[in-house]
Structure 1
């Protein structure tokens, strides 16, 4: 089994210590950091995303795999400064104002990072102006909004309206998710898409970025 296959296996089985060793071994063997990320870590997380989507694994396994991936990324990220490593796109993500829930949002952020996106995670209970500032400052390609309460869903509409007021709406794709949210609600508030779970969020983000 080659090193990339070993890395993929270590990621999918959540073995962070082994991921670290394999990453260091790859670097010592002269492999490029970008190749280790794409062919090892991201490839492993792609398998996890597919299994999660098909209900073959559940949240705990995804969390373990994401932690293992981050163990490798922690070694590799400093080596990427000044290189040509281009993420698939930049995603600003957060749970809207008034809503402290973040487990689903964290899972989506992990899966998107595992798929090769650069993530700017603003956390939970995020004020609209903070979303707007981050989209502007980071020149984000996607804004991902989460809400777990029916009472906070209207904040998503407020964010979309503020993007329009600030002339940013055409520059960024908006995707939404969370238990009370639906595709019809996405259509109603003028968002670009809705994902019912983290696996679908990855597919949606990829499709939005290619438009």
Structure 2
């Protein structure tokens, strides 16, 4: 096994974004198998951090730094992976579009969910804060995501989660995309009332929910 894979794994575990980028660029420049770099380096690293989080040996900042480092390095490899270079095929566990709904600029909870979903092996596309229903759907359509995860931290912006579900229903897209919601003022009942496909109270529960939806 190429020793650079171990270096990549360590960079992810350490949450070293700059080193992850540098090593990914080296993979491209030296024509090292990018699929192996992902599987033996990036994924091994993020799995190690995820396991440490589960066992209580790592904390949320560690997971978030590792997820950021993985994203930065993977962005460098995106082009060669898309071109089908390397032995075998790199498959993520599923694509998820994540964002905070229109009118809401809170992002800490969303960022935690994104980091834990990434550490669980999902490909997360974080579109940021204050996002309209059509923005979520356009991104999901663009990347081929199955799940749209919409966060709201204010009682005044919860309605935007309802608008998102209604937008999917109105455009006959709800069979194509599943919607999950979360955020402080939301509840299981609210999710059921608006016709969402799931609700998660915590980031850990969001990971389990996505795993269930992808396995259905």
* Counterpart in the other structure of 2:214: 209
Tell me: CA distance 1:38–1:207, structure 2 relative to 1, closer, same or farther (3 Å): farther
User: Which consecutive residues of structure 1, in runs of 5 or more, have no partner in the other structure?
Assistant: none
* Counterpart in the other structure of 1:95: 100
Does the CA-based 8 Å contact 1:9-1:44 persist in structure 2? yes
Tell me: CA distance 1:186–1:46, structure 2 relative to 1, closer, same or farther (3 Å): farther
2:154 to 149, 158, 163: 149
Name the CA distance, whole Å, in 2 between partners of 1:182 and 1:207.
19
TM-score normalized by the length of structure 1:
0.81
Q: How does 1:170-209 map to 2 (within 5 A)?
A: 170-209=175-214
Tell me: CA distance 1:186–1:72, structure 2 relative to 1, closer, same or farther (3 Å): same
**Greater Cα offset, 179-188 or 19-28:** 19-28
Does the CA-based 8 Å contact 1:53-1:200 persist in structure 2? no
* Counterpart in the other structure of 2:134: 129
RMSD of equivalent CA atoms? 2.9
**1:144 positional shift:** 0.5
Q: How does 1:69-88 map to 2 (within 5 A)?
A: 69-83=70-84, 84-88=89-93
**1:22 positional shift:** 4.9
SS of the residue corresponding to residue 192 of structure 2 reads: helix
* Counterpart in the other structure of 1:107: 112
**1:171 positional shift:** 1.3
SS of the residue corresponding to residue 135 of structure 2 reads: helix
Aligned length: 211
* Counterpart in the other structure of 1:67: 68
**1:32 positional shift:** 2.0
Query: What does the per-residue CA deviation read over 1:97-125, in whole Å, with 9 as the maximum and x for residues that have no partner?
Result: 11111122133234434444333332211
* Counterpart in the other structure of 1:51: 52
TM-score normalized by the length of structure 2:
0.80
Does the CA-based 8 Å contact 1:41-1:114 persist in structure 2? no
Confirm or deny that 1:33 pairs with 2:34. Answer: yes
Name the CA distance, whole Å, in 2 between partners of 1:130 and 1:68.
26
SS of the residue corresponding to residue 174 of structure 1 reads: strand
